[in-house]
Structure 1
Amino acid sequence: AYYQADGRGLLKPGYKHIFVLPSEGGTPRRITQGDFHHRGTLAWTNKSDAIVFSANRIADWEYKSLEGDLFKVMVKDGELTQLTSTPGKEFNPVFSENGEKLAFLSTSNALNPYRNAKLNIMNWKSKKTSEIASDFDRSIQDPQWLSSSLLAMTYDDFGKRKLATISTKGKVKDLTDTLVGSSIGRPYISGSFTASSEGYMAFTQGSSSRPADVAVINTRKKLVKLTQLNEDLLAHKNLGKVTEINYKSSFDDEPIQGWYVTPPNFDPKKKYPLILEIHGGPHLAYGPHFSAELQRFAAQGYVVFYDNHRGSSSYGERFAMLLKYKYSSKEDFADHDSGVDAMLGLGFIDEDNLFIAGGSAGGIATAYAIGLTDRFSAAVVVKPVINWLSKVLTADSGLGQIPTQFPGMPWEHVEHYWKRSPMSLVGNVTTPTMLMTGEEDLRTPMAQTEQFYQALKLRKVDTVLVKVPGSPHGIAGKPSRMITKIEHTLAWFEKYKTKAAE
């Protein structure tokens, strides 16, 4: 049933297994069996005679992507023991240094588009398991032992990734909220760390004006920055300033957090064109982090606004679940539209030069928005879903997406799928629109983009289609492709920017 994957194409027959290899070299030996995938974090027992891992070994595993249990496999003979059987997924096992406790994460199997990951600790001798900090309304990530009673972890909170400690009794202590990491193109939450048993953690540290460097912090919050990797490139440049803005959605007064980037040498007495840039996911989040794309837009003279609309992560399960069965909708559009109004209220935005852009789920939101309003002078829709009825049956993500993001199969809920599709609103669109998708995208296949392009052409709306050669869903995965995306976007907006804002 799962036959293709974005970035990989058609999948070759076979299963992922665990092998062991002598440290001095030799022949790899497989120690897991069966027609199942065995992958993820591997945890060696203290005696180094077994490995603990997570796998979904139920009969119809392809259709049950929210399931997974912990197993122990003996290195000598491959004897397999199931350690957990709780409904949902148990994963990311890690032993304490003395081997007496096993920490791991778990998530619910409820058919929801978002779920918090919970921390659990198993007594290795008795196999008794306890959930730690069960009322902590954030998703715990990457637990690592600092001592027999203390772990380091990260969690996302209000647009930032925090490095914290958590005791085996559930007490959480924040250490720093300056983690950034793998995302450079757009300001997504990211960042990673490695902990030692001496109480020190090395992590990727950054800011709104710098990508990640390496820093070290201890449990007493003493922080030392070890690198300055981008000073030769950025120290002499005048970058855009990132400022936080908070407002309420016109739909229901839900509080929304956002940020805006002002151009270098910004003068609040002047009027500037505005770009609304919408994040993907939709259950991801932006934050006040370095972004090459948004800095380039700001350098061109635009104020760039971005928000964490309802459904975004880092605000707890309630906020994330506000989008269940509703993406896209008038509700999340109201979050963005109210943000544009809040920006206009600051007094330095030219109301005649408003632009909108987004990729993936942000591309869906952008295409949906221009079906609801004509306030934007131009739009750039990147790798969108245009027709949910066809998308879930052609993309690589349908098996997991249908049961968690929709009330049922598309042929049983045609009206629901259609109502959420930007194509249902294409008859309203008058906004000049650039469409851009990778030619090898299997997550939001090119046919989605082509449907919207053809529909806009039939309606004689000014539109262009940019196909990115060799690109899967992650267009910005190569610097050259990221530059292509940025410069095409700017060229399109410049074409429709009025002289008053130049």
Structure 2
Amino acid sequence: MSGAIFSAGLLMSHLVAADARFVSEDIFELEYASDVQISADGSHIVYVRSSHDVMSDGNRHSLWMHELSSDKHYPLHADQYNYTKPVWSANGKKLAFVSNRDGRNQLYVHWLEQDKNAVITQVEKGISDIRWSPDGNWLAFTMEVPAGPSEYAKSVYTPKKPKGAKWAESTKIIEKARYQADGKGILEPAYRHVFVVPTTGGSARQLTEGDYQHRGPLAWVPDSSALVFSANRNKDWEYQGSEANLYQISLHSAEMTELTDAPGTEYNPQFSPDGKQLAYLTRTDARVPYQNTEVALMNTSNRKTRQISEKLDRSVSDYGWQNSNNIVIQYDDRGKRKLAKMNLDGKLQVLTDNLSGATLGRPYISGSFSVADNGAIAYTHGSSQRPADLGYWFKGKARQLTDLNQDLLGHKQLGQVHEIEYASSFDGEKIQGWYITPPDFDPEKTYPLLLEIHGGPHLAYGPHFSAELQRYAAEGYVVFYANHRGSSSYGERFAMLLDGKYSSREDFADHNSGVDAMIAKGFIDDRNLFIAGGSAGGIASAYAIGLTDRFNAAAITKPVINWVSKVLTADSYLGQIRNQFPGMPWDNLEHYWQRSPLSLVGNVTTPSLIMTGEADRRTPMSESEQFYQALKLRKVDAALVRVPGAPHGIAGKPSRMIAKIEHTLAWFKRYRKD
């Protein structure tokens, strides 16, 4: 009898422990906040609350409201439809948003006091860059307008099909330089234009004309008489991806004025509250893979311009006026996203560094914010243990307003994230990294090590929540990741260390030295080392196993294997060849080959799992097939996993993220040594 009770107790203890692990099914239950928007008077915050639908394997987006005076938190629109892109009117009494509740995405307005909604548009294409006019009478937005058939397409004779006949699908004629996009496939020729529509509803009116791409974010002039936007209206714009100027267009006459003409890109215009300054973001047209984005100011009376963020040596990704003398900027620094107040002379004061958590898969830097007229800031607040919640900063104090995942993660034992810094064996460059220890970690024991390499390569990981890496930690791996040379958030010099060397022995040394630094800590089983990465991380992983055989197995996701074939088949060729390579591949074959993992495949002995989406147009399936077939010709153990329908963002659906994780775990399990 006592033995039976004892055995039952052990069983219950085991079940509790198993339930405390983070498992793949938990991914369906995760939620996060994004697109946080605080009203102009600072009284309300609306945000997009994103979750997953286990039945449709899709994402759900609802609108939630937080009332700051009462601390009430409630759904504004949360049902079977999706609600995105919330934008407050200047008086805070109305809210515009996009929803598919009428069958396709349209622009809606919600009247808060009356608790009423109205659909404002009846358009065929997707709406972006929504902005209220200051007087509240107009909503501006951008939308694509189909170009229609070309002269050549119209000249092709097509015989009339007999009634009831079943012919092959019609041909598709491609004549544009940019004709495909990952996640969209072959593009219908179209031009993005600026539209306005009355806030009480009516016909949307197209303001801009011509065969050009007019882009937001948009800015209304203070008296609501005109709009400012970014565009490249040169004849050769398709080949000038680093060029765009600011233009102003009259609401009533459609008269257009060019405001900037500096070489490079000017975008995201915002007028100061007093209307005396027009701020915007800017980059030069230098042929480089990375450069900082700066904040510039234009005096609206004489159009004189100056940059104010040059001393920061970080890229400003977004900003907002706090008052006419200060701007709040968002920038990435050493793996974290920070908010800081900057005056018009560039003097900086950091406000918070916990913007995070707006991505679920891997620990990329993420997050967004908005500013009220009283200086209050709403933002996405995240950590290594939680995806994004709603954060609030006011008068020097920051607080978290929601706890969206406490019901799921409050009883889970997650892996703990620790920072590490070490010197690269290549040249002594200091590298910052992090490692996640498994739940119930015991430093007296040893654990297998999983090296995970980020994409980009000019992106960055940090101490942020990651469903994928937490799953690996839950299965007993110490997961190590680092911001190798080329990573963003460390300034231009560090990012440019990878210029012309992507991939190379230099970034391999950064990762390999990190593995050595982890082994030196004493709790890594050096008989069980594994390597994984996606996109640029997939390239680095494939390149690494051509230089070393120290890893038991590799999981290579959506890689580039042959740069010559990649740049001549992928959707990114126009900018990538210009900014990343010394010239065209047929003129610089040796350079392209030296950067290609395929050049080292004759050295590879590491068992390799290769996984790519069948609809990937950024690193096409043909890249993975080249590596798989090369490994098979060499009789190296390899598996090719094709993900039907998946674009480059292979983990965009919950089931696909789970598939990516579980295929990797199963592959590594085959090669773990007892």
TM-score between the two structures when normalised by the length of structure 2 = 0.73
- Aligned counterpart, 1:148: 324
Q: 1:232 and 1:209 mapped to 2: Cα distance? A: 13
Q: 2:183 and 2:328 mapped to 1: Cα distance? A: 33
Q: 2:384 and 2:300 mapped to 1: Cα distance? A: 43
Structure 1 ranges of 4+ moved more than 6 A: none
- Aligned counterpart, 2:624: 449
- Aligned counterpart, 1:299: 474
Q: Which has the larger radius of gyration?
A: 2
1:419 aligns with 2:594: yes
Deviations 1:137-173 (A, max 9, x none): 0011211001110111111000000011111111110
Report SS of the residue matched to 2:198.
Answer: coil
Retained in 2: the 8 A contact 1:391–1:444?
Answer: yes
- The Cα shift of 1:33 comes to 0.9
Q: 2:561 and 2:403 mapped to 1: Cα distance? A: 43
- Aligned counterpart, 1:64: 240
Deviations 1:306-358 (A, max 9, x none): 00000000000000000001000000000000000000000000001000000
Amino acid at match of 1:232: D
- Aligned counterpart, 1:168: 344
1:372 aligns with 2:547: yes
Report SS of the residue matched to 1:436.
Answer: strand
Farther off after superposition, 131-140 or 295-304 = 131-140
- Aligned counterpart, 2:437: 262
Q: 2:499 and 2:580 mapped to 1: Cα distance? A: 6
Q: 1:113 and 1:141 mapped to 2: Cα distance? A: 16
Q: 2:499 and 2:345 mapped to 1: Cα distance? A: 33
- The Cα shift of 1:99 comes to 2.1
Selected match of 1:83 from 242, 252, 259: 259
Q: 2:270 and 2:309 mapped to 1: Cα distance? A: 18
Amino acid at match of 1:231: Q
Report SS of the residue matched to 1:217.
Answer: strand
- Aligned counterpart, 1:179: 355
Retained in 2: the 8 A contact 1:181–1:192?
Answer: no
- The Cα shift of 1:9 comes to 0.6
Amino acid at match of 2:227: I
Q: 1:54 and 1:181 mapped to 2: Cα distance? A: 29
Report SS of the residue matched to 2:281.
Answer: strand
1:86-101 to 2 correspondence within 5 Å? 86-101=262-277
- Aligned counterpart, 1:190: 366
- Aligned counterpart, 1:471: 646
1:214 aligns with 2:390: yes
Q: 1:215 and 1:190 mapped to 2: Cα distance? A: 14
- The Cα shift of 1:225 comes to 1.3
Give ranges in structure 1 of 5+ residues lacking alignment: none
Q: 2:464 and 2:312 mapped to 1: Cα distance? A: 25
Selected match of 1:250 from 406, 425, 447: 425
Report SS of the residue matched to 2:539.
Answer: helix
- The Cα shift of 1:197 comes to 1.5
Retained in 1: the 8 A contact 2:363–2:465?
Answer: yes
Report SS of the residue matched to 1:355.
Answer: strand
- Aligned counterpart, 2:576: 401
1:16 aligns with 2:198: no
Selected match of 2:672 from 490, 497, 502: 497
Retained in 2: the 8 A contact 1:70–1:90?
Answer: yes
- The Cα shift of 1:130 comes to 1.6
- Aligned counterpart, 1:482: 657
Q: 2:310 and 2:399 mapped to 1: Cα distance? A: 33
Deviations 1:75-128 (A, max 9, x none): 112111000000010011011123221110100110000010111111112212
- Aligned counterpart, 1:28: 204
Report SS of the residue matched to 2:190.
Answer: coil
Amino acid at match of 1:141: S
Amino acid at match of 1:370: I
- The Cα shift of 1:56 comes to 1.2
- Aligned counterpart, 1:40: 216
Retained in 2: the 8 A contact 1:113–1:404?
Answer: yes
Q: 2:341 and 2:661 mapped to 1: Cα distance? A: 39
Amino acid at match of 1:325: G
Task: Kindly tell me the number of residue pairs found equivalent between the two proteins.
Answer: 498
Q: 1:40 and 1:138 mapped to 2: Cα distance? A: 23
Identical residues among aligned pairs (%): 64
- The Cα shift of 1:464 comes to 0.3
Selected match of 1:333 from 508, 515, 519: 508
Q: 1:251 and 1:224 mapped to 2: Cα distance? A: 43
Q: 1:478 and 1:278 mapped to 2: Cα distance? A: 21
Report SS of the residue matched to 1:267.
Answer: coil
Retained in 1: the 8 A contact 2:358–2:380?
Answer: no
- The Cα shift of 1:14 comes to 1.6
- The Cα shift of 1:134 comes to 2.2
- The Cα shift of 1:232 comes to 0.2
Q: 2:233 and 2:444 mapped to 1: Cα distance? A: 63
- The Cα shift of 1:181 comes to 3.3
Report SS of the residue matched to 1:211.
Answer: coil
- Aligned counterpart, 1:436: 611
- Aligned counterpart, 1:4: 180
Retained in 2: the 8 A contact 1:407–1:413?
Answer: yes
Retained in 2: the 8 A contact 1:215–1:226?
Answer: yes
Please tell me the root mean square deviation across aligned C-alpha atoms, in Å: 0.7
Report SS of the residue matched to 1:288.
Answer: coil
- The Cα shift of 1:202 comes to 0.3
Retained in 2: the 8 A contact 1:103–1:143?
Answer: no
1:105 aligns with 2:281: yes
Q: 2:334 and 2:309 mapped to 1: Cα distance? A: 19
Retained in 1: the 8 A contact 2:437–2:473?
Answer: yes
1:461 aligns with 2:636: yes
Retained in 1: the 8 A contact 2:296–2:305?
Answer: yes
Q: 1:270 and 1:349 mapped to 2: Cα distance? A: 8
Deviations 1:172-193 (A, max 9, x none): 1001110103211000001100
Q: 2:661 and 2:309 mapped to 1: Cα distance? A: 43
- Aligned counterpart, 2:413: 238
Retained in 2: the 8 A contact 1:176–1:221?
Answer: no
Give ranges in structure 2 of 5+ residues lacking alignment: 1-176
Amino acid at match of 1:292: A
Deviations 1:213-232 (A, max 9, x none): 001102x4201211010000
Amino acid at match of 2:520: G
Amino acid at match of 1:21: V
Retained in 2: the 8 A contact 1:240–1:264?
Answer: yes
